Amino acid sequence: MGKMHVPFSKSGLLALGILSIVLAGCGPASTDGSSGSTGSNWKTCRDDQYGFSLRYPPDWHSTTPEGRCVQLQKGKSDLPEGLPEVDVFIQVIPLQGNFPADYLREKGGTGTRGAVTSMDRQELSVNGLSAVRAKFQSSGPTPNWGIEYAIRKGNQVLDIYISQPKPEVEAEFEKVIGTLQW
């Protein structure tokens, strides 16, 4: 079969180029350190003890003193009845076992919230650091679910998770992960 020639006008090519640029911004959140759609009004949470920082949206707030980065929230916490709209927990733990193989596994993987089941596990890189991302579900006095990352630097692992995010909040969380500097 021969090649088919489809003529394009200059205005058609211009429209196609503009559409390509618009659609390029619709992909998954970047984890390469670029700010993506994080605005200049995003705040920075720095942890002086472990030497990392994250940027987060202006309507979120840190619940910990300056120089520590342990929890980010949006809205009011009403535990055990309800969670704030955004509830992010951050901790640095010593490396245990083999990374990434032993982290965020399907059943009973390394975690800090009791009986945790991880699903949809992915090994990836976050700003050049080896990482694992998974959805989790936990049991206990207050059952929970969400998205968790384990990110390794040297002999430490940054464990960061968000509880019960709505889809739009999950998308913002992915952008926050992409701002990690460690």
CATH number at residue 98: 3.40.1000.10
Residue with tokens 């993987």: 109
Task: Give me the domain span that covers residue 164.
Answer: 32-178
Highest mean pLDDT among 83-87, 107-111, 177-181: 177-181
Domain membership of residue 69 (yes or no) is yes
Q: Categorise residue 146: left if φ over 0, alpha if ψ from -120 to 50, beta otherwise.
A: left
Least confident of 132-136, 153-157, 163-167: 163-167
**Would you say residue 95 has pLDDT above 60?**
yes
pLDDT, residue 77, reads 65
Report the number of distinct structural domains present in the chain. 1
Instruction: Kindly state the average pLDDT of the residues 34-61.
Output: 88
In the predicted model, what is the mean pLDDT of the chain? Answer: 79
Question: In b/e form, how buried is each residue of 62-95, taking b as 16+ CB within 10 angstroms?
Answer: beeeeebbbbbbbeeeeeeeebbebbbbbebeeb
Domain membership of residue 12 (yes or no) is no
Take residue 5 and report the two structure tokens written for it.
């020639």
pLDDT, residue 106, reads 65
pLDDT, residue 37, reads 63
Neighbours of 108 (CB within 10 A): 11
Residue with tokens 């200049």: 40
Domain membership of residue 101 (yes or no) is yes
Instruction: Kindly state the average pLDDT of the residues 163-179.
Output: 95
pTM for the model stands at 0.74
Domain membership of residue 129 (yes or no) is yes
**Which residues on neighbouring strands pair with residue 116, listed in sequence order?**
138
Instruction: Kindly state the average pLDDT of the residues 35-50.
Output: 85
